[in-house]
């Protein structure tokens, strides 16, 4: 039996295959890669009861479309890029069963930038230096080291046992038009005067259209160095580095960034807020909040437990077949319990319908 699960009908703006990343090779100039929004990526795999390092699709901005080649179970997390199944709206942050010849497609969104599509068992591609993550600049990993294009065929590992259908109840990183990033002082903060550093942390910047998996160029008040020279001897540039090039406009580096760089780093985004970078779109407002290394470490330790079982709920599905005037309707009732209230949704012949209030007549 073939393990091919998707045929790409349209790769959209940018769709790549990612796992947690390629670690241990930065000293040799090899970027980490991996998901731009680590939290949403992990949830996509957790919902499917995959290993958290399983390969998944990262869809940037949207407009991608896939033909389903065999029955599979998926999850969709991250920004709401208006996913559709056979032209009908489908929910996110839960598992979904797809049938052969279904068409999964994505629109776009004004809030957030990237969605993640996990596949039960994980996507199957050859590993390069221990990782399947796509690094576009060097052409390694993923599907032949490139973004997905029309007619590419994607395979996944087979799943031998039936998994529970689950939904995610925890905190969701779906993007925002107003973002605050907590920042620790960069190694070249002393290249900037105290007044300029104060300006950096008090002003609001805007993301521009110059954004990709390498970095985000910002617009706003210029941040000049004391001498006006923005060149340094190249040194390590981790993900989250905030460089200031010669034009004085900050650049925030993302997961595909180079391993060294020659611009001064006024700050580095704390690990706790790195996932926010993956959901920054164009014209988002960004403010920086200065914290200490000790505060950043404490925040990371608090969050480092990751996703817990308390964030996950099993989906209870009731199915009905209703005959009305010689017509047959397949009806599914989805009941999602969240703490003290109940949320119901219904599909009729596959079309997803949101219900605000339901009186329980089903007992």
pLDDT tens figures, 182-203: 999 999 999 999 999 999 999 9
Taking alpha carbons only, the member of 317, 185, 304, 207 closest to residue 252 is 207
Question: For residue 43, what pLDDT is reported?
Answer: 97
pLDDT band at 128 (very low <50, low <70, confident <90, very high): very high
Q: What angle do CA 242, 288, 254 make, to 5 degrees?
A: 35
Under DSSP, the state recorded for 278 is: G
Percent of the chain, pLDDT > 70? 87
At 302 the pLDDT is: 84
Residue 168 pLDDT greater than 90, yes or no: yes
Residue 311, exposed/middle/buried by CB under 10 A (0-12, 13-18, 19+)? middle
Give dist(CA 34, CA 213) in Å, integer: 10
Residue 345 has pLDDT above 70, yes or no: no
Give CA angle at 91 (54, 352), nearest 5°: 140
Q: What is the structure's pLDDT at 359?
A: 45
Phi, psi of 333, deg, nearest 5? -105, 125
Reduced to 3 states (helix: H, G, I; strand: E, B; else coil), residue 113 is: coil
Q: What percent of the chain has a predicted confidence (pLDDT) above 90?
A: 78
Determine the Cα–Cα distance for residues 10 and 195; give it in Å rounded to an integer.
Answer: 49
pLDDT bracket for residue 361 (50, 70, 90): very low
The predicted model gives 41-45 an average pLDDT of: 97
The band of 322, judged by pLDDT with boundaries at 50, 70 and 90, is low
Query: Residue 37 pLDDT more than 80?
Result: yes
Reply yes or no on whether the pLDDT at 292 is more than 90. Answer: yes
Q: What is the mean pLDDT of residues 52-68?
A: 97
pLDDT at 278: 97
pLDDT band per the 50, 70, 90 thresholds, residue 358: very low
Burial call 29-42: b when 16+ CB within 10 Å, e when fewer: ebbbbbbbbbbbbb
Say if residue 48's pLDDT is above 70.
yes
In this model, does residue 335 exceed pLDDT 80? no
Cβ-Cβ contacts under 8 Å for 339 (sequence gap 6 or more): none
How much is the pLDDT for 121? 96
pTM, two decimals, is 0.86
Between 226 and 322, the higher pLDDT residue: 226
d(CA 118, CA 59) in angstroms, rounded, equals 11
Which of 75-79, 108-112, 160-164 comes out lowest in average pLDDT? 160-164
Looking at per-residue pLDDT, the higher value among 110 and 47 belongs to 47
Higher pLDDT, 123 or 1: 123
More confident residue, 179 or 354: 179
Q: Is the per-residue pLDDT at 317 higher than 70?
A: no
Count CA atoms within 13 Å of residue 181 on its CB side. 34
Give the residue with greater pLDDT, 322 vs 205: 205
pLDDT on residue 309? 81
DSSP 164: P
In this prediction, residues 287-295 reach a mean pLDDT of 97
Pick 218 or 311 by higher pLDDT: 218
Q: Which domains does the chain have, with CATH numbers?
A: 4-168 (no CATH), 178-303 (2.40.100.10), 315-354 (no CATH)
Query: What torsion do the CA atoms of 139, 145, 148, 152 make, to the nearest 10 degrees?
Result: 130
pLDDT tens for 211-248 read: 999 999 999 999 999 999 999 999 999 999 999 999 99
């Amino acid at each position: 039996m073939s393990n091919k699960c998707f045929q790409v009908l349209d790769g959209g703006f940018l769709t790549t295959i990612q796992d947690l990343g390629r670690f241990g090779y930065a000293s040799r100039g090899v970027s980490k890669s991996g998901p731009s929004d680590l939290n949403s990526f992990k949830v996509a795999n957790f919902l499917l009861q995959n290993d958290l390092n399983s390969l998944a699709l990262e869809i940037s901005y949207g407009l991608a479309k896939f033909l389903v080649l065999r029955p599979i179970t998926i999850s969709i997390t991250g920004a709401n890029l208006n996913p559709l199944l056979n032209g009908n709206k489908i929910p996110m942050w839960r598992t979904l069963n797809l049938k052969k010849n279904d068409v999964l497609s994505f629109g776009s969104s004004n809030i957030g930038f990237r969605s993640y599509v996990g596949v039960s068992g994980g996507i199957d591609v050859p590993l390069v230096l221990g990782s399947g993550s796509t690094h576009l600049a060097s052409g390694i990993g993923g599907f032949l080291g490139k973004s997905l294009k029309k007619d590419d065929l994607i395979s996944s590992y087979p799943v031998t046992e039936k998994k529970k259908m689950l939904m995610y109840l925890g905190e969701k990183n779906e993007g925002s038009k107003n973002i605050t990033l907590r920042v620790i002082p960069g190694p070249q903060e002393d290249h900037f005067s105290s007044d300029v550093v104060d300006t950096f942390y008090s002003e609001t910047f805007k993301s521009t259209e110059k954004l990709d998996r390498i970095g985000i160029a910002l617009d706003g008040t210029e941040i000049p160095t004391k001498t006006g020279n923005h060149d340094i001897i190249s040194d390590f540039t981790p993900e989250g580095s905030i460089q200031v090039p010669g034009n004085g406009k900050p650049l925030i580096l993302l997961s595909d960034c180079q391993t060294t760089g020659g611009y001064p780093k006024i700050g580095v985004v704390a690990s706790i807020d790195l996932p926010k970078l993956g959901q920054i779109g164009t014209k988002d407002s960004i403010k920086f909040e200065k914290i200490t290394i000790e505060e950043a470490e404490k925040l990371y330790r608090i969050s480092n437990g990751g996703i817990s079982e308390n964030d996950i709920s099993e989906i209870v599905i009731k199915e009905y077949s209703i005959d009305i005037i010689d017509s047959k309707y397949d009806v599914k009732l989805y009941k999602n319990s969240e703490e003290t209230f109940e949320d119901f949704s219904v599909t009729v012949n596959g079309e997803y319908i949101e219900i605000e209030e339901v009186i329980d007549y089903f007992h």
